[in-house]
Amino acid sequence: VPYLPQHTDLLAITSGLKTALALSERHIRTMVTGGAVMDKKRSAFAAPDAGRMTDAELSKRLGGLQRQSAAWLLVGLAGAVSGTVCFFTVQAALLRAILVTVLFFGGVCCAVIFGGGAQKKLNALMHEQMGDFFRSEWEKTFGPDIHTPEMRIDEPFMKALHLLDGEWETCSVENFHEGEYGGVHFSAANVRLDHVYQRGTPHEGFETCSSMVFRGLVLRCAARVSAASPVLATARTADSPRGILTGHAVFDRSFCVAADSEQDAVRLLTPQTIGFLTAFDRSVEGQLLSLCWRENTFSLALETDYAFAAVAGSVDLRDLDAVRRSYVRSLQEMCCVLDQLKASPALTGVVE
């Protein structure tokens, strides 16, 4: 998005739109992509009481909302592109300011407010009408959806995980669930981290912007080996300190290890554990960015597009059988991840 510091006229015209965009951005962050947001007072599968639709009625309604959402997003994209083109091609300053305001910001409003509103209605309707199926499939695969304090995934936990420290300000957690599979007690959620910042000058004014720095899966498992003190490993960056070296050259180049006690880190991050983590990182869809071994909990953060306990965005929602298959497939993919983790020294109880 081009910033226009020289056009005070445009800034004056768009001040109201900026306020509207800020409010709509805050509104749209409450939406979910293919799943329901966990509420403190009710299950993630809970839905408001409503009349049950037939499959034909639901298929038609979901398909209409999906088309509506896609259409508004296309309108918004066309407006934003047209506004950007006008900024670089129109010579008259006032006309350029008006066109950019109407086309670019109008397009953004269409995508966020109207497209986002349709998406929100779609997700609410899907969980309202299909929540019983989602709950049944979850319990069939992972048992009751329980929520214990020690397995929570929320903003305080993400800060404790030190994932991308100092690079994000807001955290959104979607599709949080907790259950058991093959003797492994686990919790998982899709997490997004955003960097929020101010852009502009004191003279011209500031606007609040945000950019995504992480989107992926956070997974926590009950470990059979307890960590005497927390051991943390995060993907190494140019600013990372030397950290604790494990003696495994590839792992030490990729991760920065921190712990209160170097002895605890060496005891847990054995060649066997590091070999498992290296193989796991290669086999899963995505990239391992962080791991934390704290007391009896082993946690991982994976940067991935995989949507846990959700319906894939590419599914045609008019096909309800495809919707059901997509949700079941997302649970099966988690089973595959957990099958691999069951071989982890943290879960087998053998770290030597």
Q: pLDDT by residue (tens digit) across 132-165?
A: 999 999 999 999 999 999 999 999 999 988 888 8
CA 209-37-174 angle, 5° bins: 65
Angle (deg, nearest 10), helices 55-89 and 116-142? 130
pLDDT for the residue 35: 39
Is the pLDDT assigned to residue 301 strictly greater than 60?
yes
Residue 125's pLDDT band, with cuts at 50, 70 and 90, is: confident
pLDDT in tens, 166-188: 889 999 999 999 999 999 999 99
Instruction: Give the E-state strand segments of the chain in sequence order.
Output: 170-181, 184-201, 205-235, 255-259, 287-303
Is the pLDDT assigned to residue 331 strictly greater than 80?
yes
Distance CA 102, CA 82 (A): 10
Residue 101: CB atoms within 10 Å: 21
The candidate with the shortest Cα–Cα distance to 312, out of 301, 300, 328, is 328
- With a pLDDT cut of 70, the percent of the chain lying above it is 82
> Partners of 197 in the beta sheet?
209
Is the pLDDT assigned to residue 297 strictly greater than 90?
yes
pLDDT for the residue 116: 67
pLDDT in tens, 249-258: 889 999 999 9
Residue 87's pLDDT band, with cuts at 50, 70 and 90, is: confident
pLDDT in tens, 269-279: 999 999 999 99
Residue 31's pLDDT band, with cuts at 50, 70 and 90, is: very low
Burial class (CB within 10 angstroms; exposed 0-12, middle 13-18, buried 19+) of 250 = exposed
pTM of the predicted structure, to 2 decimals: 0.72
Is the pLDDT assigned to residue 15 strictly greater than 70?
no
- With a pLDDT cut of 90, the percent of the chain lying above it is 38
Q: Residue 244 in contact with residue 259, Cβ under 8 Å?
A: yes
Interval 324-328 mean pLDDT: 94
Higher pLDDT, 41 or 70: 70
